[in-house]
Chain A
Amino acid sequence: GQQLNQSPQSMFIQEGEDVSMNCTSSSIFNTWLWYKQDPGEGPVLLIALYKAGELTSNGRLTAQFGITRKDSFLNISASIPSDVGIYFCAGRNGATNKLIFGTGTLLAVQP
Chain B
Amino acid sequence: EAGVTQFPSHSVIEKGQTVTLRCDPISGHDNLYWYRRVMGKEIKFLLHFVKESKQDESGMPNNRFLAERTGGTYSTLKVQPAELEDSGVYFCASSEITGGREQFFGPGTRLTVL
Chain B interface residue count, CB cutoff 8 Å, equals 28
Contact of A99 among B9, B45, B104 (CB under 8 A): B45
Any B CB within 8 A of the CB of A67: no
**Given A98-B33, A98-B45, A99-B45, A45 and B107 touching (CB < 8 A)?**
no
CA distance A35 to B106 in the complex (A): 13
**Given A42-B105, A42-B108, A45-B104, A97 and B42 touching (CB < 8 A)?**
no
CA distance A110 to B102 in the complex (A): 32
CB proximity to B under 8 Å, residues A6-36: 33, 35
Q: Is the CB of A44 within 8 A of B105?
A: yes
Chain A interface residue count, CB cutoff 8 Å, equals 22
CA distance A88 to B105 in the complex (A): 13
Q: In angstroms, how far is the closest chain A Cβ from the Cβ of B87? A: 17
Any A CB within 8 A of the CB of B103: yes
Chain A residue at minimum C-beta to C-beta distance from B91: A42
* A 71-107 binary contact with B (CB < 8 Å = 1; else 0): 0000000000000000010100010111111111000
Q: Is the CB of B56 within 8 A of A43?
A: no
CA distance A37 to B99 in the complex (A): 23
Q: Is the CB of B4 within 8 A of A42?
A: yes
Q: Is the CB of A43 within 8 A of B91?
A: yes
Q: Is the CB of B106 within 8 A of A42?
A: yes
CB proximity to A under 8 Å, residues B86-114: 91, 93, 95, 98-99, 102-108
Q: Is the CB of A97 within 8 A of B31?
A: yes
Q: In angstroms, how far is the closest chain B Cβ from the Cβ of A65? A: 15
- Using a CB–CB cutoff of 8 Å, the interface residues on chain B facing chain A are 4, 9, 31, 33, 35, 40-45, 48, 55-56, 58-59, 91, 93, 95, 98-99, 102-108
Closest 9 CB pairs of A and B: A42-B105, A101-B43, A98-B45, A101-B42, A103-B42, A43-B105, A42-B107, A42-B106, A41-B107
